[in-house]
Structure 1
Amino acid sequence: MATFDLEQQEQLDQVKHFWKQYGNLITWTLVLVLGAYAAWTGYLYWQQKRAQGATGLYDELDKAASERNADRVRQAFGDLKAQYAGTTAAEQGALLAAKVEADAGKAEEARATLQWLVEAGKNEGLVAVARLRLAGMQLDAKQFDDALKTLDAKVPEEYAPLVADRRGDVFLAQGKHKEAIEAFQAAWKGLEPTVEYRRFVEGKLTVLGAPPEPLKAPTAPALPTAPAAR
C-alpha cells in the first residue's frame, strides 16, 4: 500500500474534495463538449452524403430532361424534392423540371413547380429566377394579379431591373400604360448600359411614346481665363 507524507496527503485530500464538489460538473461539461463535437462531425458527414445523393438525382433529372422525357423528369424531381429539399441541386432541378414541363405543354404543372421553389427555396438568386419565370407564365395565362403578387417580393439587387421589366409587361397587358412606362423606366435605369437587354426595354418605352433620355455625362467646370498680356 502506498504511503504519503503529510504534504502529499493534504494535496490528495484537496483533490478529493475538489472532485467531490465539481466532479459531476466537469464530467457533464466534457460529455457536452465531446457530444457536440461528435454531432458536428456527424452533421458534416451527413451533409456530404446528402449532397452526393442530391447530385446523383439531379444527374438523373438532367438526363431525362435532355431526352425530353417529361414523365421521368417529374419522377426524378419528385424524389429530389422529397429527399433533398433545401439543397441547391433540388432548387436547380425545379427550374429544369419546370422548363421541361412548360415545353411539354404542361403549364399548370410548370407553374406549380416554380411556385414550390418560390416558397421553399433558400438560394436567393434561384428564387428570383423562379419568380421571373413564374410571373411570365402567369402573364401568359392572364393571371395578372397573381403575376404582380409573385413579383412583389424583395430580390437581390442585380435582379431588380428584370423584375421591374416583367412588372411593366403585366401592366401593359392590363392596359395600364402609365404604370407600365414607370416600370420600364425603372428597369432601363437599373440595367447597365453595356447590357444588351437594355435596348429591348428602351424599345418598349419608345413604342409607348416615352423614349428614355440619354444619360448626360457631367460637364466639367470651365477653367478660368488667363488675363491677357499687356
Structure 2
Amino acid sequence: MAYDHEEQEQLATLKAWWQRNGNLTSWVLIVALAGYSGWAGWQYYQRTQAAQAGQLYDELQNAIAAKDTAKVMRAAGDMQSRFSGTAYAQMSALAAAKVAFDANDLKTAKTQLQWVAEHGTEEYKAIAKLRLAGVLLDEKAYDEALKVLATASVAQFAGAVADRKGDILVAQNKLADARTAYLAAIAATDKNNPGRQLIQVKLEAIGGTVPEDKAKADKAAA
C-alpha cells in the first residue's frame, strides 16, 4: 500500500523519535513489566505460604487435641523456620508455649514466648511478653519479669500489663507499689471487663481501695 505525503511525514517523525528515545522506552517498558511480574509472583508466594502455614497450623492444633507434645513442638519449630512471616507462626509459638507450660517445661515455654516477643507484630509481642512475665513470676525471677513488662507498651494491653506488674510487686512484698500498679490497671480496664473485678479484689486484699470518685463514676455509668 502506498503512503500519502502526510503519512510518510508521520512515519519519518516516528522513526526519528524512536532513534532518540527508543532504547530508553524499551528499558522503561522492561522495568515496568518486570515490576508487575515481581508483584504478581510475590502475591502468589504470599498466598501459597499462607495456605501451607494454615495446613501446618491445623496439624499443630490436632496434636494439641491428641496431647502429643512432641508433635506440637515439631510443628511449632517447622512453622518458625518455614513460615516465620505469617501470623500462624506467632499463634503456633503461643500455643506451643502453653502446652510446654502446662507440662511444667518452663524452659521451652520461655523459648517459644521469647520467639514471639522478638519476631511478632506489636500486638503479639505484647501478649508474649505478658505471658513471659507470668512464667518468670512463677520462677521468682521478679526483676527480669518487670524488665519484660517495661517493653510491653501496646495501649490496648495497658491494663493487663499493670495488673501483672502488681502481681510481681506483691510477690516482692512491695505493697505500696503494687497498690499503685493495681490502681493503674483498674483505670486502664473497661468497667465491663470481667477481669476488672478481680483486679479490684487483689487491690483490696493488700489494703488498697478504689478512689471514691472512680467508684461513683462506675456506678453512675452502670
Taking structure 2 as the reference length, the TM-score comes to 0.92
Decide which moves more: 203-212 or 4-13.
Answer: 4-13
- Following superposition, the deviation at residue 165 of structure 1 comes to 0.5
Equivalent residues of 2:116, 2:125 under 8 A apart:
yes
CA change 1:217–1:173 in 2 (3 A) is closer
**Equivalent residue in structure 2 for 1:191, among 184, 189, 192:** 189
- Following superposition, the deviation at residue 129 of structure 1 comes to 1.5
Q: Distance in 2 between matches of 1:16 and 1:72?
A: 68
Aligned residue number for residue 69 of structure 2: 70
Letter aligned with residue 160 of structure 1: A
Structure 1 residue 176 corresponds to structure 2 residue 174: yes
Letter aligned with residue 68 of structure 1: K
Letter aligned with residue 38 of structure 2: A
Q: Distance in 2 between matches of 1:68 and 1:78?
A: 17
Q: Could you give the per-residue CA deviations for residues 85-106 of structure 1, whole angstroms, max 9, x where no partner exists?
A: 0211111101110111111121
**Equivalent residue in structure 2 for 1:134, among 132, 143, 168:** 132
Q: Distance in 2 between matches of 1:65 and 1:207?
A: 37
Aligned residue number for residue 200 of structure 1: 198
Equivalent residues of 2:129, 2:152 under 8 A apart:
no
Letter aligned with residue 138 of structure 2: D
- Following superposition, the deviation at residue 217 of structure 1 comes to 4.1
Q: Distance in 2 between matches of 1:126 and 1:209?
A: 34
- Following superposition, the deviation at residue 198 of structure 1 comes to 1.1
Radius of gyration: which is bigger?
Answer: 1
Taking structure 1 as the reference length, the TM-score comes to 0.89
Structure 1 residue 120 corresponds to structure 2 residue 133: no
Q: Distance in 2 between matches of 1:69 and 1:120?
A: 26
Equivalent residues of 2:137, 2:145 under 8 A apart:
yes
Letter aligned with residue 117 of structure 1: V
Q: Could you give the per-residue CA deviations for residues 155-180 of structure 1, whole angstroms, max 9, x where no partner exists?
A: 33221100001011111111222211
Unpaired runs of at least 5, structure 1: 219-230
The structure where helix makes up a greater share of residues is 2
- Following superposition, the deviation at residue 9 of structure 1 comes to 2.7
Decide which moves more: 136-145 or 207-216.
Answer: 207-216
Q: Distance in 2 between matches of 1:177 and 1:217?
A: 26
Equivalent residues of 2:53, 2:83 under 8 A apart:
yes
Unpaired runs of at least 5, structure 2: none
RMSD of aligned Cα (Å): 1.6
- Following superposition, the deviation at residue 3 of structure 1 comes to 4.4
Aligned residue number for residue 148 of structure 2: 150
- Following superposition, the deviation at residue 4 of structure 1 comes to 3.8
Percent of pairs with identical residues: 39
Q: Distance in 1 between matches of 2:49 and 2:69?
A: 25
Q: Distance in 2 between matches of 1:81 and 1:42?
A: 22
Aligned residue number for residue 97 of structure 2: 98
